Amino acid sequence: MVLHCSIRLQSTRRKKVPMLSDSKTRSCLYTLFIVASLFCGAYFINSTVIAKEYKDRLIRLGASETMRNKDSMRCKDDCRPSGSEHLPKGIVVETSNLEMQPLWGPIKNYKNTTPAMNLLALAVGIKQKEIVNRLVQKFPSKDFVVMLFHYDGVVDDWKNFTWSERAIHVSAVNQTKWWFAKRFLHPDIVAEYGYIFLWDEDLGVENFDPNRYLSIVQGDGLEISQPALDPVKSAVHQPITARRKRSKLHRRMYKFKGSGRCDENSTAPPCVGWVEMMAPVFSRIAWRCVWHMIQNDLIHAWGLDMLLGYCAQGDRTQKVGVVDAEYIVHLGLPTLGAGLKNQASAQS
Ligand SMILES: *[C@@H]1O[C@H](CO)[C@@H](O)[C@H](O)[C@H]1NC(C)=O
Ligand SMILES: *[C@@H]1O[C@H](CO)[C@@H](O)[C@H](O)[C@H]1NC(C)=O
Ligand SMILES: *[C@@H]1O[C@H](CO)[C@@H](O)[C@H](O)[C@H]1NC(C)=O
């Protein structure tokens, strides 16, 4: 229809123009024609664009609607993880855990007996053997599965610690905690663990009790947390992580001078909703989110800390916090990439 309009206009112009004798009328008509055809053209272009967009949207809507219908139809039958479609019903399990099974004899039926277990995952090098030993011994074996990520490739030298046998050892040379976590802590594998401690190795735990820590975190609804750092003995990089005496936990910090001020109205990290990547503790549901946020090529996780709020399962000013009552010492020892880290922080 629109197309007709412009064609007709053009043909009238062609026919009529030679017949007109008065030049004034002619130029007037001419202007009119131009204006009219401009309008026509604009309308034409506009309507095609709109029509196309609308059509696209309709198609998309239709497609997603059919997909959704199909999905829900299929899900009504049985909604299965991709790749398991050909397996008989009932044999597909979506999650696993890090439980070791005996070679012989009855298999532990953890489904019926499982206590709420948590996971301690540490990136370790043999040089920090003694510190790691003290750290692991703080975590009762009945409540925690221990996983060691060996970034120096040394595994055998850990064997003479009694807890070493029940730990899961993963070794890959010169890889960071985040590299290991992305590859070996898939949310479906660690789905049974209530809380995941993803810690560095250079932490002193004399004043830290994991179960007391967890009862605070649970009681106060922290999905992402860290123990506070002893400000006297620790290398404190961020004031929000420093321990406050006579406090159970805190969620924000105050800074009234200089740049980057923080007050009670601040809503963004690092004033509030922020923990450091050295000793984070994630709830199961927060970890599922964080795991997805860890990009495949993430190495040191600088910057990830600022984004953790996305995984707080709601208000990050409430669900992210630092626990003062159970605190640790950041020893600041040279560990994997420590030289690099200093260089980078000097630059920034
Ligand atoms: C482990 O072995 C090292 C050297 O072989 C020894 O010095 C250390 O005391 C042993 N530790 C334990 C807990 O057995
Ligand atoms: C690991 O890193 C160290 C120190 O940067 C380096 O000397 C060594 O060659 C690296 N090893 C591998 C296998 O990349
Ligand atoms: C915080 O917000 C309240 C209410 O808007 C205001 O009265 C108060 O002065 C603010 N505090 C600061 C430190 O800006």
Which pLDDT band, with edges at 50, 70 and 90, does 344 fall under? very low
- Select the highest-mean-pLDDT range: 64-73, 104-113, 264-273: 264-273
148, 126 contact by CB (below 8 A): no
pLDDT of 51 reads 55
The protein residue whose alpha carbon is closest to atom 13 in ligand 2 is 173
Q: Ligand 2: which residues within 6 Å by Cβ?
A: 173-174
224 vs 55, more confident: 224
H helix intervals, 254-337: 284-293, 304-307, 316-319
pLDDT of 260 reads 86
48, 40 contact by CB (below 8 A): no
Please state, in angstroms and rounded to a whole number, the distance separating the CA atoms of residues 122 and 96.
Answer: 20
The structural domains of the chain, with segments of one domain joined by +, span 2-67, 117-332
| Range with the poorest average pLDDT among 72-76, 177-181, 198-202 | 72-76
- In sequence order, the 6+-apart residues with CB closer than 8 A to the CB of 176 are 123, 151, 299, 300, 301, 336, 337
pLDDT digits (tens, 9 = 90+) for 3-41: 443 444 444 444 444 444 455 556 655 665 665 666 545
Share of the chain above pLDDT 90, in %: 53
The protein residue whose alpha carbon is closest to atom 8 in ligand 1 is 160
pLDDT of 95 reads 87
Which 8-state DSSP code applies to residue 71?
H
The protein residue whose alpha carbon is closest to atom 3 in ligand 1 is 160
Please state, in angstroms and rounded to a whole number, the distance separating the CA atoms of residues 297 and 299.
Answer: 6
Which 8-state DSSP code applies to residue 311?
G
**CB of 161 closer than 6 A to ligand 1?**
yes
**CB of 129 closer than 6 A to ligand 1?**
no
pTM, whole model, 2 decimals? 0.75
pLDDT of 189 reads 94
pLDDT of 8 reads 44
Say if residue 64's pLDDT is above 90. Answer: no
Query: What spatial distance separates the first Cα and last Cα of the chain, rounded to whole Å?
Result: 63
Which 8-state DSSP code applies to residue 272?
B
| Range with the poorest average pLDDT among 18-27, 65-74, 77-86 | 18-27
CA of 266 to the centre of ligand 3 (A): 10
Which pLDDT band, with edges at 50, 70 and 90, does 49 fall under? low
φ and ψ of 102, to 5 deg: -70, 150
Mean pLDDT score, 181-191: 96
H helix intervals, the chain: 2-16, 23-78, 110-113, 129-137, 177-184, 210-219, 284-293, 304-307, 316-319, 338-347
Please state, in angstroms and rounded to a whole number, the distance separating the CA atoms of residues 181 and 31.
Answer: 71
CA-based R_g, the chain, Å: 32
- Residue indicated by tokens 């009328």: 25
pLDDT digits (tens, 9 = 90+) for 131-165: 999 999 999 999 999 999 999 999 999 999 999 99
Mean pLDDT score, 60-72: 59
Which pLDDT band, with edges at 50, 70 and 90, does 92 fall under? confident
> Mutual orientation of helices 23-78 and 2-16 as an angle, nearest 10°?
170
CA of 126 to the centre of ligand 2 (A): 15
pLDDT of 112 reads 55
**CB of 56 closer than 6 A to ligand 3?**
no
Q: Which of 264, 267, 272 to mutate to test the pocket of ligand 3 (most atoms within 8 A of CB)?
A: 264
Which pLDDT band, with edges at 50, 70 and 90, does 69 fall under? low
Instruction: From residue 213, give the alpha-carbon distance in Å to each of 228, 235, 316.
Output: 11, 21, 19
Name the nearest CA neighbour of 304 among 296, 294, 313.
294
pLDDT digits (tens, 9 = 90+) for 210-265: 999 999 999 999 999 999 999 999 988 889 999 999 999 999 999 999 888 999 99
Buried b (16+ CB within 10 A) or exposed e, 296-329: eebeebeebbeebbebbbeebbbbbbbbbbbbbb
Mean pLDDT of the chain: 81
CA-angle at 301, arms to 336 and 196, nearest 5°? 90
pLDDT of 314 reads 92
Buried b (16+ CB within 10 A) or exposed e, 124-137: bbeebbebbeebbe
Please state, in angstroms and rounded to a whole number, the distance separating the CA atoms of residues 315 and 61.
Answer: 32
Could you tell me the two tokens for 159? 């064997």
Domain spanning 117-332, CATH class: alpha beta
pLDDT of 60 reads 58
- HSE at residue 30, side-chain half, CA atoms within 13 A, is 10
41 vs 290, more confident: 290
